[in-house]
A and B are shown apart, each in its own frame.
Chain A
């Protein structure tokens, strides 16, 4: 089954404790992206990757890091989480973003930073 998987689905952590949210897709997609969803703000892009070893900042990259060492994986790293990073996070992938191909979304990771 074609899908985007994220782990963990739920995470409660404390300020400053490094964490990684994994994202994996099995569709051989070139483009991958991370979004955060907050009430009243919709989805905002954090980082995206056009291909392996190619990443770039989205609209809200502060406090986040990403890497793309393999085509299928695109982990999101929070080196020192803070309460304002409490949010619902989505990973997405697409065959290509420079066309009309749709993005496929993972199920989301709900992160709470206390």
Chain B
């Protein structure tokens, strides 16, 4: 069965600093991988997704993530944090070929300090 581990339930960065949110997955078959963002008092929205077309995936709001099969990782990065990036971020995995579910990590809350 597939699973996702997000390292660090809370991450704090200064405005303008690099954002790095870590996600490792476990899957016996090639996965689809997603990053979702949840702003306060809102639902989740898709930031980006990996579907095997390219290992470096660019998303909205300047975020990107790199799929590394050898490390089973899909870390989310942004070169320069903005105050508006403060939110909770969820990594999720589904598998090709018939899985009926999307499995989420426990989330990482990002705080951006002025």
Contact = CB atoms under 8 A, between A and B. Distances in A.
Interface of A: 4, 33, 35, 40-45, 48, 50, 56, 58, 90, 92, 97-100, 102-103, 105-108
Nearest to A56: B100
Interface string B21-65: 000000000001010100001111110010100000000000000
A35 B103 CA distance: 11
Interface residues of B, number: 25
B74 interface: no
B102 A42 contact: no
A4 B43 CA distance: 10
A43 B9 CA distance: 14
B94 A97 contact: yes
Nearest to A110: B41
Interface in B79-114: 90, 94, 96-102, 104-107
B43 A100 contact: no
B7 to A, nearest CB: 13
26 contacts: A4-B43, A33-B101, A33-B102, A35-B104, A41-B106, A42-B104, A42-B105, A48-B100, A48-B101, A58-B101, A90-B43, A90-B44, A92-B44, A97-B100, A97-B101, A97-B102, A98-B97, A98-B98, A98-B100, A99-B96, A100-B49, A100-B51, A102-B34, A103-B44, A105-B45, A108-B43
A107 B46 contact: no
A43 B104 contact: yes
